[in-house]
Structure 1
Amino acid sequence: MKVKRNFYLLFTSIFLTVLIAGCGTNKTDDNNDASKKSSLYGGVLRLNNEFDFRNLYPLSLTETVSHRICNQVYESLVDLDPKKLTVRPALAEKWEVSDDVKTFTFHLRKGVYFHDAPCFPDGKGRELKADDIKYCFDKICEYSPMNQMFWLVQDKIKGANEYYQLSKENKPLPKGGVEGIKVIDDYTLQIDLEFPFAILPTVLTHSAFWIYPKEAFDMYKEDMRVHMVGTGPFKPKKIKEGDAVILTRNEKYWKKDSLGNQLPYLDGIKFTFVHDPEIVFLSFKKGEYDFTGYLSVFSKEINDDIKNKRYKISNAQALGVNYIAFNCVTEPFKNPKVRKAFQAAIDISKISPRNQEIKGMVPPMTDYPFYKLEVPEFDPLKAKNLLKEAGYTKDNFPKVTFYVSNDGDALAQIIQKMIDENLGIKLNIQPLPYSKLSDFTEEGKAQLWLNGWLADYPDPENFLNLFYGKNVPEDINERSFINSCRYKSEKFDHYFEMALKTVDVAERNNFYALADQTIIDEVPAIAHSYSSYSALYHNYVHNLYFNGMKYYKFEAVYFDKPKK
């Protein structure tokens, strides 16, 4: 959210996914006591993350934990309303779209300042200008080991491809930067596109488009992974990997509530990184955390506490998919018949949540024609025949390592058993830390693995990008950040590209569905579940809005009484 946003969502745990309300323009849509009583200012929101953060630099940010932290510090032209997951103004107060949907003009708010930080000559944050937006957007178009986000602009923004190639070849870059990213004046930015791309504002909510000052990048460079300078409601106070990230209130934040009160209400936020869910849950009960998603140890006592209004609980169907992934460029899974054999040998109904219909890689979404997708039935005999047609038997099938995250053993063992029973193939399960698993898959070292994807923004395009052929590097030794399966299909790419260029929503979604059906038919991956989440929080916490993207915005959160 995010950037591949390539997250493995744990099969047996329920994760923290409470999302916070923000503002439609420069005011919240909240008309509660927090807007009326200045005494409700104060307190530090305390929450835990299930993993350590990997990288806090917007162009290297690929997982939910980093996003939770950074979304309080950085902002872009637009963001999402956490109640509805609809696009709303942020650093841009408004925008216009040309009749041909190929030019978007954004008008920036005046009086928005970067956080005070050592990267500025006097340590004082300066005002945000359109040049800052262009600088950051040009960075997305620049080849760099730190940039995993070019896929978001590739073929879309005028001049982006040329700029990327020149930077990759270490050739001089155009003096004006990327052709299609233009500064009209200090508070106006224009984006010119190669084709009509109606969902551009939605894509701009991606974390890659967060804005940071050039001064910060010039000072920290690779160390941007542990330094943050933005314009958001909170600014960093302490960043210690494996221990805690502490953010404090940005006193100069531009946003106000509906009655004109300065946001945020909180004094700060503290993120910790305790990996044991039972420890976290017990700490929550003791009041050491303000909310938690670790409900696997849910008890009658907690049930009673909810009834007695000591705690509140929220649930959401997530915009996320969990899947079995294949490396499509190395044997044995280079052969589509082998992938189809595995597909026929795995009974998805035995590993998916009860009453959940599993189809393609796009989870059920508003206006998406999910019902049109057709999935082959579980068929062990067909699986054996397909394996034979591919030239393999259980005796000559090569050894395959099945990579999972450290907490993915339970699901992997069920799949391992099915493959053994139905194909006679014995998979070797290899658990890895999340960061190591990501490295293995991106570098093409894994043949078979469990993976998951949580939407960066609420559009089918975000899920289908995982399989777009142009997101696979030509050099097999180069990291493939977004399409880790290294899947290439002319048929899929045709439908996907048609969708990108289609303005009509219904027609665009039909093309998305055709692309999704192609994934089902050609099997670079097998969806096995769509994520859902629950969260428990203390009744003194207010303005927590819960949705399926784990999209955190904390500027409007407040407590009944300030918490120390």
Structure 2
Amino acid sequence: MLLTGLLTGCSEPTTTTDARRVFRYNQPESLTSLDPAFARNQANTWAVTQLYNGLVELDDSLKPGPSLAHRYNISPDGRRYTFTLRPDVFFHDSEVFPSGRGRRVTAQDFVYSFRRLLDGATASPGGWIFRGKVLEQADGEPSDTCFVAVNDSTLRIHLKEPFIPFLGILTMPYAYVVPREAVQKYGKDFREHPVGTGPFLFKEWDEGNAIIYHRNPGYWKKDAQGQRLPYLDAVQISFIQDRKTEFLTFMQGKLDFLSGIRSGSRDLIMYPDGTVREDFRGKFRLQKVPYLNTEYLGMQQDLKNLRGDNAETGRALQDKRVRQALNYALNKPEFLAYFLNNVGKPGSSGFVPASLPSFDQQKVPGYTYQPDKARQLLRAAGYGPGKPLRLRLSTVAETKEFCEYYQKKWAEVGVQVEIDVNQGAAHGELIDNGRAAFFTRSWLGDYPDAENYLALFYSPNFAPVGPNKTHFKSPAYDRLYEQAKLEQDAARRYALYQQMDRIVVEECPVVAVYYDEVVRLTQNNVQGLTPNPMNQLVLERVRKN
């Protein structure tokens, strides 16, 4: 009812809009804002991606390329980025502009948008993309000259030191451009009154029920034949929270795609080897691609905040031989087949996932299933039948079943593990504050560069401020990390990344259980929706036949 009513007001009255031209997807997780400054999770990111653009965007191979900036230049010292904007990009029509017509995007809009991210009054979780990277004042705050509008079409960004993944960071939704007029008019309510430059226009948000977007008839992109994008007339986002109901709605043809199917539905449609069961073959397309996510077990290297059983576990995990034994005791291929229908790849290399170009299992060999080797290491560490190793593993309800499998495999080599289940927020707080000695965790990449994963083992990044949850510290590792950040030659940088990942494997502050994959189910009449390791949802080139 909502969709039918709203589509009658579509911006191109000469076009007949029907279900064939409306893309419908569901968002089971909470969607809190359509403001790019708050695009901190998949729900918000997918929604804002349809409404906004940034200076650059990722291509199909995850390399940054032109978007609102049609060209850019990086100075030889890697500290100055100069972007030349397209002259044909306009904000969406909105009441915030004189006569309601969207105005042209200028370099000043990017200066405003970037400074807004850093403004404490905005309270954006995205300020980290610039903090510590752009030019700073003596007090460590970003300089007034870190973002400079040279003229309407030229933007300069000054970094305090070279940072090779910076272009990749600028592809993130946090870096999308917004108009000052809309933010000033709506204030906090800009979250539900978005004004962007993207392929779709915001129409309506009935919270908890649906969001409706209409096609932007003045979108700046065209396809190779000169046809203006997007092809779709509208997008409808629903909010079905129950995963079984969501799957049933997809099977009824009322949703156009699903992402990240859960265990019940996965077992229903897939064999343990990951192939589609006969009953479902031909009914939809199933796509499985690598995902920038590493599921891991972390081992706290800093004992000062551990108490009780966690302190005992932490002391045992100070011995590298124990950490290595825990790695060798897990049969990762068996785990993936039994629990995940082979959705994912075994963590048989380092921490960097298989979807990144620097990944090379031959150059970074990890741990394979060798229970005898695990027993040998435990004996060398002083454990055995007369003195069993006892550990406590912290997790959440969603992964309790996984942990029971780990528990069984460790028991086979003589390790007794107690599982401690916590609520998600409490679990994260325990880890961030160094109070969990042994814990389950995942790292989903913010941008497609191995630096984002290897930052988890750089000692200045200790949690809770940084992502180094294990408080791993290695002077040799830190030197390589700092060298890699400055290395502009990709091959040499990848070699440094691999050297760092080999240190992570050897010292094993983590168990890399598996490198995740994205599974998408798409209706057969949908064309042009291509998955990628960032699990982005890009609808501007999607068609429905």
TM-score normalised by L of structure 1: 0.77
Instruction: Calculate percent identity across the aligned residue pairs.
Output: 27
Aligned residues: 499
1:3-18 paired onto structure 2 within 5 Å: none
Cα gap change, 1:140/1:514 in structure 2, threshold over 3 Å: closer, same or farther? farther
Query: Structure 1, unaligned stretches of length 5 or more?
Result: 1-37, 167-172, 474-478
Q: Post-superposition shift, 1:151? A: 4.1
Paired with 1:277 and 1:469, the residues of 2 have a C-alpha distance of: 40
1:114-263 paired onto structure 2 within 5 Å: 114-117=91-94, 124-142=101-119, 146-159=123-136, 165-166=140-141, 177=144, 179-219=145-185, 228-239=194-205, 242-263=208-229
Query: Is the Cα contact below 8 Å between 2:395 and 2:421 reproduced in 1?
Result: yes
Q: Post-superposition shift, 1:288? A: 0.9
Map of 1:408 onto structure 2: 399
Query: Is the Cα contact below 8 Å between 1:105 and 1:188 reproduced in 2?
Result: yes
Greater Cα offset, 51-60 or 542-551: 51-60
Counterpart of 1:152, as a letter, is I
Counterpart of 1:363, as a letter, is P
Q: 1:33-86, CA deviations, whole angstroms, 9 ceiling, x for partnerless residues? A: xxxxx88997221122353236554444333232222211221100012x3323
Paired with 2:111 and 2:438, the residues of 1 have a C-alpha distance of: 40
Query: Is the Cα contact below 8 Å between 1:344 and 1:376 reproduced in 2?
Result: no
Q: Post-superposition shift, 1:497? A: 1.4
Q: Post-superposition shift, 1:112? A: 1.8
Counterpart of 1:403, as a letter, is T
Map of 1:315 onto structure 2: 288
Q: Which has the larger radius of gyration?
A: 2
Paired with 1:219 and 1:426, the residues of 2 have a C-alpha distance of: 56
1:245-284 paired onto structure 2 within 5 Å: 245-284=211-250
Cα gap change, 1:541/1:387 in structure 2, threshold over 3 Å: closer, same or farther? farther
Paired with 2:203 and 2:379, the residues of 1 have a C-alpha distance of: 58
Which of 465, 471, 475 is matched with 1:490 structurally?
475
Q: Post-superposition shift, 1:386? A: 4.5
Counterpart of 1:427, as a letter, is E
Paired with 1:417 and 1:438, the residues of 2 have a C-alpha distance of: 25
Cα gap change, 1:486/1:121 in structure 2, threshold over 3 Å: closer, same or farther? farther
Map of 1:470 onto structure 2: 460
Cα gap change, 1:522/1:132 in structure 2, threshold over 3 Å: closer, same or farther? farther
Q: Post-superposition shift, 1:361? A: 1.2
Is 1:538 paired with 2:528? no
Q: Post-superposition shift, 1:499? A: 0.8
The secondary structure found in structure 1 opposite 2:269 is coil
Map of 2:513 onto structure 1: 528
Paired with 1:146 and 1:380, the residues of 2 have a C-alpha distance of: 50
Counterpart of 2:237, as a letter, is F
Which of structures 1 and 2 has the larger relative contact order (alpha carbons within 8 angstroms, sep 6+)?
Answer: 1
1:498-517 paired onto structure 2 within 5 Å: 498-517=483-502
Paired with 1:487 and 1:227, the residues of 2 have a C-alpha distance of: 44
Is 1:79 paired with 2:57? yes
Cα gap change, 1:471/1:66 in structure 2, threshold over 3 Å: closer, same or farther? farther
Q: Post-superposition shift, 1:322? A: 1.1
The secondary structure found in structure 2 opposite 1:497 is helix
Cα gap change, 1:137/1:485 in structure 2, threshold over 3 Å: closer, same or farther? farther
Q: Post-superposition shift, 1:124? A: 4.8
Map of 2:78 onto structure 1: 101
Cα gap change, 1:222/1:416 in structure 2, threshold over 3 Å: closer, same or farther? farther
TM-score normalised by L of structure 2: 0.79
Is 1:292 paired with 2:263? no
Q: Post-superposition shift, 1:503? A: 1.1
The secondary structure found in structure 1 opposite 2:514 is strand
Which of 26, 31, 35 is matched with 1:48 structurally?
26
The secondary structure found in structure 2 opposite 1:47 is strand
Query: Is the Cα contact below 8 Å between 2:294 and 2:351 reproduced in 1?
Result: yes
